[in-house]
C-alpha cells in the first residue's frame, strides 16, 4: 500500500527521481528567488543547525492550515529526524515540475549518512510565507544508473548490471530482498541480498516470502474482473447496489466499480490516526466500512484521480457480497491457486508463516537506523495491500494473467482500456501502465513501512521483473522499472 494522501507530491517525486537518475547533476543546485525557494532555504538552514527541538517548534510555523494535521505531523517528524541524524544536508539539484511550475523539488544529501532525499513543496499563493504542500521522500543516489545503457543488452550484461547495482545498494544498507527477471519463457536473473530477519542474521533466499504492499491491488482487480465475466456484477454497478450496508449511501449511489478500480471514486484513505489507534478492530473488509465513510470525500466521483486504499477495501467487500465467500478465500482459491502461486497468501500479525521475512523501516528518509515495522502495519493484509508472495509466484501470476488463465483476453483488454493519466503513464483497472520503446509496461508497485515491491511486465513480449524487499518504503522499485526499460528496448539475447 502506498500511503500517499497527496498524489501530486507522489507523482512529482516519481517524475523527478526518474529524470534525475538518468541526467545526474543536469540542473543547477541554486534555490530560486521565489516564495517556495525562500522557504526551502529557511528549511535547509534549520536542518543544518542540528537542533531537533528547535526544528520541532519552527517547522509547523511555515505550514498552511490547509494541510491536514496528520500530514503536518508526518512532515515535521521527518524534518526532526533529518536534523537529528543527517549531520546537515547539501543541495545537489533543484527543479520545478514540468506540469506544475509552482511545485519546487529540492534534492539533498546527508553529510553524515550519505543518504539522499527529495523535498517537494509549493507555497500558498494567498500566504507566500506558508507552504500549501510539503513532503519529504527518500531517493536513490542519482549516479546509480548513470552508466546504464538505453538499448537492449545481452543476458550476461544484464546480469552484470543487476549484480553491480544490487551489491552497491546492499553495501549502503539500501536493499534487502530479491530480484528476478524472466524473458517471457524462463527466469534469466534470480538474485537475493540482505537479511530476512536481523535479530538472528537470517539471510534472504529464493524461498523467502515478502509482504508486497499494493501489488495486492492487482489480485483484487482480477477477482472483480472474474465476477464481471460471471455476470454477477458490471463495471458500472454502484457501490450502493453492491454494498447496501455502506453507511454513506448518498455518496455510494454515485460511485461505480470502474471508478473504484481506477482511483477516481473521490474517496481518500483509511490510514488515519483512528485506524492506528484501534487497528486490532480492522481485520475483514466489513470492519472498515464505518471508518471509510467518516473520512472526507476528496472529489466528485469520476472527476479526479486520487490514490485510494479505501476504494480497494470496498472492492474487497464487493467481492465478498457478490461471491458469498470471504475475500481472502476467494483470492486464494480463484487467483493464487489457478496461477500456481503456492507461496502466496494473507497473514495476520500473530500468525506464524514459514519463510516470511520481517519488515524494517526508517522513520525518515535521512534517518540513520532501521526499526522493525510490527506497529506500522494492519493486523491482517487487506484488499488494498499487504498480502505476501515470492518472486517466483509473482512471475507465475504475470504468465497466468497474460495467457488468459485468470480472465479471458477480452476482459483483460477491457481492464486496460482508457487508463486514467497518473504519474509517468496511466492507471488502468488495478494496474499501472506506461510506454517504453513503444511497448507497454504494466504492473504495480508497493511501498509501506517494511515493504518495497514491484512487478513490471513488458506486455507484448511477456518479459517481466519482480522485486521484493523487506525494507521500505524505498525507491528500489525504480530498479525494476529500469530493467523493464531494457527488456522493452528489444529481445535480451545470451
Report pLDDT digits (tens) over 299-352.
999 999 999 999 999 999 999 999 999 999 999 999 999 999 999 999 999 999
Between helix 391-402 and helix 216-229 the angle, nearest 10°, is 30
Burial of residue 309, with CB atoms counted within 10 A of its CB: 0-12 exposed, 13-18 middle, 19 or more buried: buried
Rounded to whole angstroms, the Cα distance separating 295 from 290 reads 9
Contact present, 302 and 264 (Cβ < 8 Å): yes
Q: Band of the pLDDT at 168, cuts 50, 70, 90?
A: very high
Contact present, 123 and 134 (Cβ < 8 Å): no
Contact present, 7 and 311 (Cβ < 8 Å): no
Domain ranges, ordered by start, for the chain: 7-139, 147-494
Rounded to whole angstroms, the Cα distance separating 207 from 191 reads 12
| pLDDT (mean) for 34-59 | 97
100-110, strands of its sheet edge to edge:
89-97, 100-110, 116-123, 131-139
Nearest to 170 by CA among 158, 178, 160: 178
- For residue 423, pLDDT over 90 is answered with no
Q: Band of the pLDDT at 96, cuts 50, 70, 90?
A: confident
- For residue 389, pLDDT over 90 is answered with yes
pLDDT of residue 7: 40
Q: What are phi and psi of 221, to 5 degrees?
A: -65, -40
Q: Band of the pLDDT at 99, cuts 50, 70, 90?
A: confident
Rounded to whole angstroms, the Cα distance separating 168 from 188 reads 21
| 312 or 98: which leads in pLDDT | 312
Find all residues with CB under 8 Å of 315, minimum gap 6, and list them: 220, 221, 224, 257, 260, 261, 383
Domain 147-494 has CATH 3.40.1190.10: no
Tell me the whole-structure pTM to 2 decimals: 0.92
Rounded to whole angstroms, the Cα distance separating 97 from 133 reads 13
Contact present, 267 and 307 (Cβ < 8 Å): no
Q: Which residue blocks in 151-238 are alpha helix, DSSP H?
A: 155-171, 216-229
Rounded to whole angstroms, the Cα distance separating 42 from 27 reads 21
Rounded to whole angstroms, the Cα distance separating 442 from 457 reads 5
- CA-to-CA dists, residue 470 to 46, 179, 204, 360, 390, angstroms: 32, 12, 9, 6, 12
- CA-to-CA dists, residue 193 to 115, 144, 204, 398, angstroms: 19, 17, 6, 23
The helix or strand, by DSSP H or E, that contains position 76, with its residue range, turns out to be helix 69-85
Rounded to whole angstroms, the Cα distance separating 264 from 257 reads 10
Rounded to whole angstroms, the Cα distance separating 73 from 432 reads 30
| pLDDT (mean) for 163-181 | 95
pLDDT of residue 13: 46
Rounded to whole angstroms, the Cα distance separating 296 from 385 reads 21
Nearest to 181 by CA among 489, 479, 490: 479
Instruction: Report the half-sphere exposure of 190 (CA within 13 A, side-chain side).
Output: 15
Cis omega before residue 390 (within 30°)? no
pLDDT of residue 29: 81
Polymer length in residues for the chain = 494
Q: What is the CATH number that goes with domain 7-139?
A: 3.10.450
| 1 or 160: which leads in pLDDT | 160
Rounded to whole angstroms, the Cα distance separating 216 from 383 reads 6
Contact present, 299 and 306 (Cβ < 8 Å): yes
**Percentage of residues in the chain having pLDDT higher than 90:** 86
pLDDT of residue 398: 98
- For residue 485, pLDDT over 50 is answered with yes
The helix or strand, by DSSP H or E, that contains position 108, with its residue range, turns out to be strand 100-110
Amino acid at each position: 500500500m502506498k500511503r500517499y494522501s497527496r498524489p501530486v507530491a507522489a507523482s512529482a517525486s516519481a517524475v523527478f527521481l526518474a529524470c534525475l537518475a538518468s541526467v545526474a547533476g543536469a540542473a543547477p543546485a541554486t534555490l530560486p528567488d521565489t516564495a517556495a525557494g525562500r522557504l526551502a532555504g529557511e528549511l535547509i538552514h534549520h536542518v543544518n543547525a542540528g537542533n531537533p527541538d528547535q526544528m520541532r517548534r519552527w517547522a509547523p510555523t511555515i505550514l498552511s492550515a490547509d494541510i491536514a494535521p496528520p500530514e503536518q505531523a508526518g512532515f515535521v517528524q521527518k524534518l526532526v529526524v533529518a536534523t537529528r541524524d543527517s549531520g546537515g544536508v547539501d543541495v545537489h539539484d533543484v527543479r520545478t515540475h514540468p506540469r506544475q511550475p509552482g511545485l519546487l523539488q529540492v534534492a539533498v544529501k546527508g553529510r553524515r549518512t550519505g543518504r539522499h532525499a527529495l523535498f517537494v513543496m509549493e507555497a500558498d499563493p494567498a500566504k507566500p510565507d506558508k507552504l500549501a504542500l510539503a513532503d519529504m521522500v527518500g531517493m536513490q543516489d542519482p549516479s546509480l544508473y548513470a552508466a546504464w545503457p538505453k538499448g537492449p543488452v545481452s543476458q550476461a550484461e544484464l546480469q552484470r548490471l543487476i549484480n553491480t547495482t544490487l551489491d552497491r545498494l546492499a553495501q549502503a544498507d539500501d536493499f534487502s530482498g530479491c530480484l528476478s527477471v524472466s524473458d517471457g519463457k524462463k527466469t534469466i536473473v534470480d538474485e537475493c541480498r540482505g537479511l530476512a530477519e536481523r535479530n538472528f542474521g537470517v539471510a534472504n533466499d529464493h524461498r523467502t516470502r515478502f509482504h508486497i504492499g499494493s501489488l495486492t491491488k492487482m489480485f483484487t482487480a482480477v477477482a472483480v474482473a472474474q465476477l464481471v465475466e460471471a455476470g454477477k456484477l458490471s463495471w458500472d454497478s454502484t457501490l450502493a447496489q453492491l454494498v447496501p450496508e455502506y453507511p454513506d449511501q448518498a455518496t455510494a449511489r454515485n460511485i461505480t466499480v470502474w471508478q473504484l478500480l481506477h482511483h477516481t471514486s473521490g474517496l481518500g484513505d483509511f490510514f488515519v490516526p483512528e485506524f492506528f489507534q484501534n487497528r486490532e478492530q480492522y481485520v475483514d473488509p466489513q470492519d472498515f466500512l464505518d471508518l471509510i465513510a467518516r473520512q472526507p470525500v476528496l472529489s466528485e466521483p469520476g472527476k479526479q484521480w486520487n490514490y485510494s486504499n479505501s476504494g480497494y477495501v470496498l472492492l474487497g467487500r464487493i467481492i465478498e457480497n457478490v461471491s458469498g465467500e470471504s475475500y481472502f478465500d476467494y483470492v486464494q482459491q480463484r487467483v493464487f491457486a489457478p496461477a500456481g502461486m503456492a507461496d502466496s497468501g494473507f497473514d495476520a500479525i500473530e500468525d506464524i508463516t514459514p519463510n516470511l521475512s520481517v519488515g524494517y523501516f526508517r522513520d525518515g528518509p535521512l534517518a540513520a537506523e532501521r526499526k522493525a515495522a510490527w506497529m506500522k502495519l494492519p493486523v491482517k493484509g487487506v484488499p488494498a495491500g499487504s498480502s505476501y508472495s515470492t518472486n517466483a509466484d509473482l512471475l507465475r501470476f504475470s504468465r497466468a494473467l497474460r495467457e488468459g488463465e485468470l480472465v479471458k483476453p477480452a476482459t483483460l483488454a477491457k481492464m486496460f482500456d482508457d487508463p486514467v493519466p497518473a504519474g509517468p503513464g496511466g492507471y488502468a483497472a488495478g494496474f499501472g501502465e506506461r510506454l517504453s520503446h513503444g511497448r507497454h509496461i504494466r504492473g504495480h508497485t508497493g511501498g509501506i513501512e517494511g515493504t518495497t515491491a514491484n512487478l513490471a511486465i513488458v506486455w507484448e513480449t511477456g518479459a517481466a521483473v519482480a522485486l521484493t524487499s523487506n525494507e521500505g518504503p524505498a525507491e528500489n522499485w525504480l530498479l525494476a522499472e529500469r530493467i523493464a526499460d531494457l527488456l522493452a528496448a528489444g529481445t535480451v539475447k545470451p
